[in-house]
């Protein structure tokens, strides 16, 4: 073999050796697991503060008192005393029925009563003078009492021809006019008491332990009020709806100017529980797996999956009753890619990396 061929062969062998070494290095690097880069996240710090759970629900206004007026006797309307929409006081006359017949019956009953009283008085005097019988006296007494009852009945029938306001309120639209013949079954008008006015709304049964008679609520009438008006709860239904699992609640709202009307829509804000010294974190920190709620706490740039128990919720915040302490940092963004023990890079709070390690 010539010297030239030997040089060529040595060069080829060296080249193959270099290629083999590089291939082995690459193979080893490929086999070696790659170190995972820190996951970028944002965090929020748990704080101790008061939390109030405010619930916003829809409500409807209703009258404290509202009744359809019916005559208590049949007859023809001869006079209407109050205008439609007029404010009337309790006892004010509203409608008058023809009383010509009832007035005559009353006079007859009163005359008969006067006669029976005179007969009874004579019978008593005769018994006292030993000229009359007890039997006649007792008969006259019974007849007098019957006449009294007849007179009272005639007076009631006469009174029923004048329809009075049962309470102070606004008279609704008339359903009759002068000359109309009405019966006991026929409504002739409605009277409504507007001050105060009811606000009826419903809450989930789970909130019942936090609601009490006398509690204030904020009420805003849609397209009417700019600021809410305070009302007070006056009644809580004793029954829970089996279908919706809600409970009906009634509050009363001042209506001195009679501006609000039954049937109007209202927005009601109810305070359903409060804690003066609660551990609070943003609601977006919470994660759920089945029935379990958890968060990722951060200490020394390492996350720990921590199961938590939650309490009240208010707006964008939630109370943590177990699992997180005030001052701890909780992942608020980027947690969907995390696993327990992952290393993270804090994007919004560098001081979080110096937090205490979770024991």
Task: Give the lowest-confidence range in 46-55, 128-137, 138-147.
Answer: 128-137
Task: Give the lowest-confidence range in 186-200, 278-292, 344-358.
Answer: 344-358
CATH, residue 48: 2.40.420.20
> What's the pLDDT at 276?
83
**For residue 85, what are the domain limits?**
75-98+163-184
In-domain check, residue 341: yes
In-domain check, residue 213: yes
| 354 pLDDT above the threshold of 50 | no
Q: Which residues pair with 278 in a beta bridge?
A: 49
> What's the pLDDT at 228?
86
Strands (DSSP E) contained in the chain are 39-45, 47-69, 75-80, 87-88, 93-97, 162-164, 169-171, 181-182, 189-204, 216-221, 229-240, 246-253, 265-282, 287-289, 292-299, 302-307, 309-314, 317-322, 329-333, 344-346
Same-domain check for residues 91 and 81: yes
Residue-wise pLDDT for 155-182, tens only, equals 999 999 999 999 999 999 888 889 889 8
Name the pLDDT band for 352 (thresholds 50, 70, 90).
very low
In-domain check, residue 29: no
Same-domain check for residues 177 and 266: no
| 298 pLDDT above the threshold of 60 | yes
In the chain, the number of structural domains is: 4
In-domain check, residue 350: yes
Same-domain check for residues 81 and 171: yes
| 15 pLDDT above the threshold of 70 | no
Same-domain check for residues 83 and 177: yes
In-domain check, residue 25: no
**CA 84 to CA 196: how far, in whole Å?**
21
In-domain check, residue 21: no
**CA 66 to CA 70: how far, in whole Å?**
13
> What's the pLDDT at 117?
86
Query: Looking at per-residue confidence, does 11 or 216 come out higher?
Result: 216
Residue-wise pLDDT for 219-239, tens only, equals 998 777 678 889 999 999 999
Model-level pTM? 0.65
User: Average pLDDT, whole number, for the chain?
Assistant: 85
Distances (CA, A) of 287 to 219, 309, 331, 337: 34, 12, 10, 12
Same-domain check for residues 284 and 249: no
Same-domain check for residues 267 and 325: no
> What's the pLDDT at 18?
58
CATH, residue 85: 2.40.50.100
Residue-wise pLDDT for 245-269, tens only, equals 999 999 999 998 888 999 999 999 9
CATH, residue 248: 2.40.30.170
CATH, residue 144: 1.10.287.470
Same-domain check for residues 123 and 221: no
In-domain check, residue 28: no
Same-domain check for residues 264 and 199: yes
């Amino acid at each position: 073999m010539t010297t030239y061929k030997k040089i060529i062969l040595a060069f080829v062998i060296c080249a193959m050796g270099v290629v083999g070494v590089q291939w082995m290095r690459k193979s080893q690097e490929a086999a070696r697991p790659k170190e995972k880069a820190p996951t970028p996240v944002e965090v929020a710090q748990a704080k101790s503060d008061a939390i109030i759970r405010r619930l916003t629900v829809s409500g409807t206004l209703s009258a404290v008192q509202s009744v359809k007026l019916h005559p208590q006797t049949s007859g023809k309307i001869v006079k209407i005393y109050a205008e439609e929409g007029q404010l009337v006081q309790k006892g004010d006359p509203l409608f008058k029925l023809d009383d010509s017949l009832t007035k005559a019956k009353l006079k007859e009953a009163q005359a008969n009563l006067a006669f029976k009283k005179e007969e009874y008085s004579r019978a008593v005097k005769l018994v006292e003078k030993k000229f009359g019988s007890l039997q006649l006296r007792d008969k006259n007494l019974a007849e007098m009492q019957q006449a009294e009852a007849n007179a009272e009945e005639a007076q009631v029938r006469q009174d029923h021809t004048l329809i009075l306001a049962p309470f102070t309120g606004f008279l609704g639209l008339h359903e009759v006019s002068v000359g109309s013949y009405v019966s006991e079954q026929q409504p002739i008008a409605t009277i409504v008491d507007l001050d105060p006015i009811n606000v009826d709304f419903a809450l989930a049964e789970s909130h019942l332990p936090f609601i009490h008679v006398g509690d204030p609520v904020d009420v805003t009438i849609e397209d009417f009020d700019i600021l809410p008006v305070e009302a007070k709860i006056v009644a809580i239904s004793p029954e829970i709806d089996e279908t919706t699992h809600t409970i009906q609640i009634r509050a009363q709202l001042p209506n001195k100017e009679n501006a609000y009307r039954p049937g109007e829509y209202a927005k009601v804000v109810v305070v359903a529980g409060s804690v003066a010294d609660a551990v609070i974190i943003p609601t977006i920190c919470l994660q759920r797996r089945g029935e379990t709620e958890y968060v990722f706490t951060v200490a020394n740039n390492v996350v720990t999956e921590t199961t938590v128990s939650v309490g009240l919720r208010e707006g964008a915040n939630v109370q943590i009753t177990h699992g997180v302490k005030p001052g701890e940092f909780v992942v608020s963004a980027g947690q969907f890619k995390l696993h327990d023990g992952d290393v993270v890079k804090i994007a919004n709070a560098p001081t979080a990396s110096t937090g205490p390690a979770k024991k």
